[in-house]
């Protein structure tokens, strides 16, 4: 028989440790987020559908984005045990200068539409975290204002080549004069991808007020108050011009850009130059031979060519092709620190987060971006410890097994490229 007794107050006291309620609603909801997916859920509740879908969506059936995320889920880690992992180092040199984490903030367009603090929030957080911040040509904060927000940190500028080459290079010149240390040249946008969520939402800049958007805005008053009481949304690098998305894309993208144009851009940029949007072994090797400082394996977050190659799957092959000393970076599909650690183990020198950063921004402005970076940083450190490594240098391909889900019936034939 179980012997029972009346509990004593002294026995109950240690169990009655009630947490002081957090009265700050923003802090309370951000503290409840333990993953990037948690931040995404918060962001979806707080952001109008058109703005959220612009961030969350991809091209056509969104297969490329889904496959990229699935690729990270389809890995098996191979840990070592009985290692002293009481301290770990998550930083090293990237493009000739130190970073505190193996990830940085990717260039994103229309950023102040997601949340009014926009690029300034990202630049502030990057400065505190010791990671690079990348400003898009289609950003909504000027080159100079981002530099002022991150005066001592690393700022990178992402370039889309316009049909008007002089105006494009004027932006490059402004970035150089402002002290940006790296130019990211995006090469996977000869034309805009078919982003069907945006078409269905009637996406425009500035957002159009329709019956649908008004109804969708009713439970999200804070977003609209911020939008209507701050500086009108415009592209800061485009002389603060605004217009429809189609108009801006028609102006922005030049479908005639070639390797010769890239060499011309490289000759005019004084800092490091990295090419973003590489999706084949042949192009990776051509760019390495051309002398650019690094490449970013990326399918533009699945927002351009649907069914494009999965960057994480390409990574080991590209590293073997160009050599481990050449800097290969990676984006698309990253939603956790474990994704970042797996990328480094397979040869990536650096990774970029786009959606993960924007989910944090939409969830809580600068504090939300802080939370996103904190979540990823903690996951990177914990994953390294559980693998039995104390530095990024110790990560190696043997730590990761890529499990097969999509088998190839045929292999692509590499096309030769003459430069």
Write down the pLDDT at residue 102.
Answer: 98
Query: CB 74: neighbour CB atoms within 10 A?
Result: 16
The CATH code of the domain that includes 179 is 3.20.20.70
Binding residues for glyoxylate: 54, 160, 195, 300, 303
- 15 within a domain of the structure (yes/no): no
Task: Give the contacts of 115 (CB within 8 A, at least 6 positions apart).
Answer: 47, 121, 223, 226, 361, 362, 365, 368
Model confidence over 331-344: pLDDT tens digits? Answer: 999 999 999 999 99
Binding residues for FMN: 107-109, 136, 158, 186, 276, 298, 354-355
* 3 state SS of 221: helix
Write down the pLDDT at residue 350.
Answer: 98
User: What average pLDDT does range 352-376 have in this prediction?
Assistant: 98
- 407 within a domain of the structure (yes/no): no
Binding residues: 54, 107-109, 136, 158, 160, 186, 195, 276, 298, 300, 303, 354-355
- 8 within a domain of the structure (yes/no): no
Q: Which is the catalytic residue, given 34, 124, 152, 300?
A: 300
| CB burial readout 216-252, b (16+ within 10 A) else e | bbeebeebbeebeeeeebbbbbbeeeebebeebeebb
Report the range of poorest mean pLDDT among 34-48, 93-107, 260-274, 394-408.
394-408
**How many structural domains comprise the chain?**
1
Q: Judge whether 152 counts as a catalytic residue.
A: no
Cα distances from 346 to residues 72, 96, 314, 328, 340, in angstroms, run 12, 21, 10, 10, 10
- 417 within a domain of the structure (yes/no): no
- Residue 412: exposure state from Cβ atoms within 10 A (0-12, 13-18, ≥19): exposed
Write down the pLDDT at residue 128.
Answer: 98
User: What average pLDDT does range 83-100 have in this prediction?
Assistant: 97
The domain containing residue 303 runs over which residues?
27-402
- 3 within a domain of the structure (yes/no): no
Task: Give the contacts of 184 (CB within 8 A, at least 6 positions apart).
Answer: 107, 134, 156, 157, 158, 159, 274, 275, 276, 296
Could you give the CA distance from residue 161 to residue 166 in angstroms, rounded to a whole number? 10
Mean pLDDT across the chain? 90
Residue 246 pLDDT > 50, yes or no?
A: no
- 255 within a domain of the structure (yes/no): yes
- 19 within a domain of the structure (yes/no): no
């Amino acid at each position: 028989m179980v012997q029972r007794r009346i509990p004593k107050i002294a026995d109950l006291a240690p169990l009655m440790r009630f947490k002081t309620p957090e009265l700050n609603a923003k802090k309370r909801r951000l503290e409840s987020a333990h993953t990037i997916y948690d931040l995404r859920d918060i962001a979806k509740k707080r952001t109008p559908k058109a703005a959220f879908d612009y961030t969350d969506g991809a091209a056509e059936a969104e297969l490329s984005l889904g496959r990229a995320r699935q690729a990270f889920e389809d890995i098996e880690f191979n840990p070592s045990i009985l290692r002293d992992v009481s301290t770990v180092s998550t930083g090293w040199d990237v493009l000739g200068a130190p970073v505190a984490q193996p990830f940085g903030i990717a260039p994103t367009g229309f950023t102040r539409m997601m949340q009014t603090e926009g690029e300034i929030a990202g630049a502030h957080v990057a400065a505190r975290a010791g990671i690079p911040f990348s400003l898009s040509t289609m950003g909504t904060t000027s080159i100079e204002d981002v530099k002022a927000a991150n005066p001592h940190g690393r700022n990178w500028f992402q370039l889309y080549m316009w049909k008007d080459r002089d105006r494009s290079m004027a932006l490059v010149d402004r970035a150089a004069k402002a002290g940006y240390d790296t130019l990211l040249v995006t090469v996977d946008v000869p034309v805009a991808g078919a982003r069907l969520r945006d078409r269905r939402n009637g996406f425009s800049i500035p957002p159009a007020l329709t019956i649908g958007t008004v109804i969708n805005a009713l439970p999200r008053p804070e977003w609209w108050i911020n939008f209507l009481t701050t500086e009108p949304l415009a592209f800061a690098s485009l002389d603060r011009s605004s217009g429809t998305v189609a108009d801006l894309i028609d102006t922005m993208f030049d479908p005639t850009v070639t390797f010769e144009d890239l060499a011309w851009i490289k000759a005019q940029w004084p800092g490091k130059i990295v090419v973003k949007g590489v999706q084949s072994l042949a192009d990776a090797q051509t760019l390495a031979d051309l002398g650019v400082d690094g490449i970013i394996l990326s399918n533009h977050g699945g927002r351009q060519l649907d069914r494009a190659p999965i960057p994480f799957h390409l990574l080991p092959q590209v590293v073997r092709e160009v050599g481990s000393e050449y800097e290969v970076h990676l984006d698309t599909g990253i939603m956790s620190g474990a994704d970042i650690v797996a990328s480094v183990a397979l040869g990536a020198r650096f990774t970029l987060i786009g959606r993960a950063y924007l989910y944090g921004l939409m969830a809580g402005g600068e504090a939300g971006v802080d939370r996103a970076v904190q979540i990823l940083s903690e996951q990177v450190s914990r994953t390294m410890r559980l693998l039995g490594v104390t530095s990024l240098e110790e990560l190696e391909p043997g730590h990761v097994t890529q499990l097969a889900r999509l088998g190839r019936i045929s292999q692509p034939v590499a096309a030769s490229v003459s430069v």
